């Protein structure tokens, strides 16, 4: 297979984003872009992103045992089921076929373009190397990488005795929202922001004990720098916000705000519990 198969994906990604923007009237796009930006700012300004545990992790103050405890809980909270949610939003893109925002002539196409962008996120999660296809492997999927990390940390992912209620609450939160394309997009966008912020802090603290802990899973998360680390979280996050702008319904603004508030609160509860139990 040609080595160009995936190295051209960035151009195709920009093509998809251009289509998405042009698929709805410009006035509607501009209105929605402002409203979606407000949601993103609400997320970024949430106390979740100013919790003391972020400073503690960045200062490498947590012990290895404390980090093990956090990782078994983080596995339950998000890592185990992230691709489940991502796969479901790809399916629910079928709702774009009849979406009133989108120009009628573009509605069938819209499903394909949305799925392309979301699939870039999914194949990243599933272990495809978008710069060198021959290096792709399910063994390099983020889920398997995380389980490899747990093994390296001598943590059994099937041992749930240390898993707190706050982790289970996050694990179950997505279930009632699986039928809603927009709700899933909003949850995923917020989840990406959380992953970027907390993964970096966790990586820094783990590095204190063994650089091996920062390979695999923690080489896949963060911002795009076009290095061998292949972190694409900021691209994926931007793509999800763009898709939400396309399908946003102003009449549902209050419900979006409520959903975001609930999800952020669960993450704040989770990381506050991690902070308390590792104090």
Q: How many domains are contained in the chain?
A: 1
As a whole number, mean pLDDT of residues 187-205 equals: 95
- Which residue, 243, 253, 264, 261, is CA-closest to 198? 264
pLDDT of residue 225: 45
Percent of the chain with pLDDT over 90: 83
pLDDT of residue 8: 53
Alpha helices in the chain (DSSP H): 4-7, 9-22, 26-44, 52-58, 64-74, 82-92, 107-125, 142-152, 165-173, 181-207, 233-247, 253-277
8 Å CB contact between 100 and 132: no
What are the residues whose beta carbons fall under 8 Å from the beta carbon of 234, sequence distance 6 or more? 196, 222, 223, 224
DSSP state of 51: -
Q: Please state the three-class secondary structure of 69-87 as a single string.
A: HHHHHHHHHHHCCHHHHHH
As a whole number, mean pLDDT of residues 92-101 equals: 98
pLDDT digits (tens, 9 = 90+) for 46-72: 999 999 999 999 999 999 999 999 999
Reply yes or no on whether the pLDDT at 270 is more than 60.
Answer: yes
As a whole number, mean pLDDT of residues 184-200 equals: 96
pLDDT digits (tens, 9 = 90+) for 219-254: 887 544 444 444 566 788 999 999 999 999 999 999
Q: DSSP labels for 29-40?
A: HHHHHHHHHHHH
pLDDT of residue 69: 97
pLDDT of residue 135: 84
Q: Could you tell me the CATH number of the domain that includes residue 74?
A: 1.20.910.10
As a whole number, mean pLDDT of residues 206-219 equals: 93
Range of the domain at 137: 4-277
pLDDT of residue 231: 55
pLDDT of residue 76: 97
Reply yes or no on whether the pLDDT at 265 is more than 70.
Answer: yes
* pTM value > 0.85: yes
pLDDT of residue 220: 83
Reply yes or no on whether the pLDDT at 6 is more than 70.
Answer: no
Reply yes or no on whether the pLDDT at 11 is more than 70.
Answer: yes
pLDDT of residue 9: 66
Between 4 and 33, whose confidence is greater?
33
pLDDT digits (tens, 9 = 90+) for 135-171: 889 999 999 999 999 999 999 998 889 999 999 999 9
């Amino acid at each position: 297979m040609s080595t160009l198969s995936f190295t051209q994906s960035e151009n195709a990604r920009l093509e998809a984003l251009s289509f998405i923007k042009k698929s709805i009237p410009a006035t509607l796009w501009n209105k929605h872009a402002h409203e979606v930006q407000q949601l993103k700012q609400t997320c970024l300004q949430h106390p979740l992103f100013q919790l003391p545990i972020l400073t503690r992790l960045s200062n490498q103050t947590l012990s290895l045992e404390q980090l093990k405890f956090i990782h078994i809980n983080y596995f339950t909270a998000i890592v185990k089921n992230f691709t489940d949610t991502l796969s479901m939003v790809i399916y629910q893109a079928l709702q774009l076929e009849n979406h009133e925002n989108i120009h009628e002539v573009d509605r069938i196409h819209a499903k394909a373009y949305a799925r392309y962008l979301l699939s870039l996120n999914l194949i990243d999660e599933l272990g495809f190397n978008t710069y060198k296809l021959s290096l792709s492997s399910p063994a390099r999927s983020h889920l398997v990488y995380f389980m490899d990390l747990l093994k390296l940390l001598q943590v059994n992912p099937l041992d749930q005795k240390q898993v707190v209620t706050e982790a289970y609450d996050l694990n179950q939160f997505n279930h009632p929202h699986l039928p809603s394309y927009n709700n899933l997009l909003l949850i995923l966008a917020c989840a990406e922001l959380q992953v970027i912020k907390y993964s970096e802090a966790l990586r820094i603290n783990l590095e204190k004990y063994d650089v091996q802990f920062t390979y695999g899973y923690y080489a896949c998360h963060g911002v795009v720098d076009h290095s061998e680390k292949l972190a694409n979280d900021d691209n994926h996050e931007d793509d999800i916000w763009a898709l939400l702008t396309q399908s946003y319904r102003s009449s549902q603004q209050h419900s979006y705000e409520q959903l975001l508030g609930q999800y952020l609160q669960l993450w704040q509860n989770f990381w506050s519990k991690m902070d308390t139990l590792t104090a």
